[in-house]
Amino acid sequence: MTILPLVLYSCITGLVIYVLLNLRTRHSNRLPPGPTPWPIVGNLPHLGVVPHHSLAAMAEKYGPLMHLRLGFVDVVVAASAAVAAQFLKVHDANFASRPPNSGAKHIAYNYQDLVFAPYYGPRWRMLRKICSVHLFSSKALDDFRHVRQEEVAILTRALIGAGDSPVKLGQLLNVCTTNALARVMLGKRVFGDRSGGGDPKADEFKDMVVEVMELAGEFNIGDFIPVLDSLDLQGIAKKMKELHVRFDSFLGKILEEHKTGNGGASSQHTDLLTTLISLKDDTDEEGGKLSDIEIKALLLNLFTAGTDTSSSTVEWAIAELIRHPQLLKQAQEEIDNVVGRDHLVTELDLTQLPFLQAIVKETFRLHPSTPLSLPRIASESCEVNGYHIPKGSTLLVNVWAIARDPKMWSEPLEFRPARFLPGGEKPDADVKGNDFEVIPFGAGRRSCAGMSLGLRMVQLLVATLVQTFDWELANGLKPEKLNMEEAYGLTLQRAAPLLVHPKPRLAPHVYGSN
């Protein structure tokens, strides 16, 4: 009985503010074009169920630089490579911070993490420096190359161990990427070797990571209409808080084990968490001391951003190769010629496999792990392509739409790795943020810190799965009938998990013993 008048009052207040804001801006600087906003909620209803699809369709009507009004928040959307370059290169410093959002508040320890830290300042630089030096530098990546190769080999044995049972490939890939990252971060594996989704602990972790990505990808109305935030009308904040408790328990146990000496296994290389704990008592010249909460927030970032993104990308790649058997055969022939059939492909072989690399690039183009870039905020007003971008505007880059732009790509919906080979339309394009036509890791100051690790892991996994198995779909499903629909979240999941029968194509000794 008491909530209804409050909601009504909030709506009336919001309507008045909305009208005043529109009267003020209508006659001021020229904003980019966009759909007419509704009262109070603005363009939130226009986002639809799958926002990167809806925004791509809007861009066809209004152009590659759009202005939306989500509640009371100005939002600009970049939907072409040229516009993205303006924001992420020319005006990169102005868009180096994150806007406030409920996901960072309720899940990521109230902005104490690296990914959602709102200010491009000393604390953020400290966390980024720690990761860059101890986890993502060339030396660190080379030091732990054997870990990734060992975990991928374990994956091949798990696939063989499934026998005639259908395999949920994404689940096993997630176990592999998580264990590979955990051994570097924690000095030990966190999941067992059971195959086919048979490890309840691994299933629970996968579900938690997917839920993080789904909730973080939701457009929470409270983020855009502050007076409604406390009401949590969609129930999103409640779910975020509950998920945070589960993740905090998982991370807290890991941290305490390390502090008491029961954590990482012995290794010639120090794991990241041991390094982080040792830094707790050191005062960084810029960012100050590292707290327990910051350590857990950083582990949360790494476990979520560094596992599911890689495993889902590989799942999309294998799905595409199953749908294009001639490409799978061509990739197998390349690996057989370069590596042979008597041992598993290694990271050192990857530079000699241009067609395999082209397959990975094409997968990143057609199925970017983050279809809408993580939001940024304008620290100051600026001008882009002759349009006024107000201070405080949220920037969204539609990575998915840019990579499917018919003005940049011929037959953009077709899976064609040859476009990245000599004679193709983009033979020199990379995916590291230098070529804005395909930016799966973002670009500029807030690009993905783990890009180099992600590339290595995805390339090695795809190469190994191509080399070691032929692939059949479960239940006799024909490749042309495979469901390739997307499930929206912060990361691009498949709507239906890929169920497969892996068929070994090499001699048994190559896979090693269980």
| Amino acid (one-letter) located at 121 | G
Residues in Cβ contact with 124 at an 8 Å cutoff, skipping those fewer than 6 apart: 114, 117
φ, ψ of residue 262 to 5 degrees: the values are -105, 15
Q: Which of 98, 135, 330 is nearest to 216 (CA)?
A: 98
Residues in Cβ contact with 123 at an 8 Å cutoff, skipping those fewer than 6 apart: 117, 287, 288, 294
Instruction: Give the chain's length.
Output: 514
Q: Is 176 annotated as a binding residue?
A: no
Residues in Cβ contact with 514 at an 8 Å cutoff, skipping those fewer than 6 apart: 157, 161, 193
φ, ψ of residue 45 to 5 degrees: the values are -65, -20
Strand partners, 394: 75, 377
Dihedral, CA of residue 169, residue 171, residue 172 and residue 177, to nearest 10: 120
Q: Which of 386, 367, 368, 390 is nearest to 377 (CA)?
A: 390
Q: Are 460 and 452 in contact (CB under 8 A)?
A: no
Tokens representing residue 178 in the block: 């998580």
Q: Are 365 and 485 in contact (CB under 8 A)?
A: no
Q: Is 63 helix (H, G, I), strand (E, B) or coil?
A: coil
* Helices and strands of the chain, counted as H and E runs: 19, 11
Query: In 2-91, which residue ranges form alpha helices assigned H by DSSP?
Result: 3-26, 51-62, 81-85
Tokens representing residue 253 in the block: 């146990």
How far apart, in whole angstroms, are the C-alpha atoms of residue 188 and residue 180?
9
Q: Is 397 helix (H, G, I), strand (E, B) or coil?
A: strand
The three-point CA angle 62-437-384 to 5° equals 50
Q: Provide the annotated binding site.
A: 448
Query: Which residues belong to the annotated binding site for heme?
Result: 448
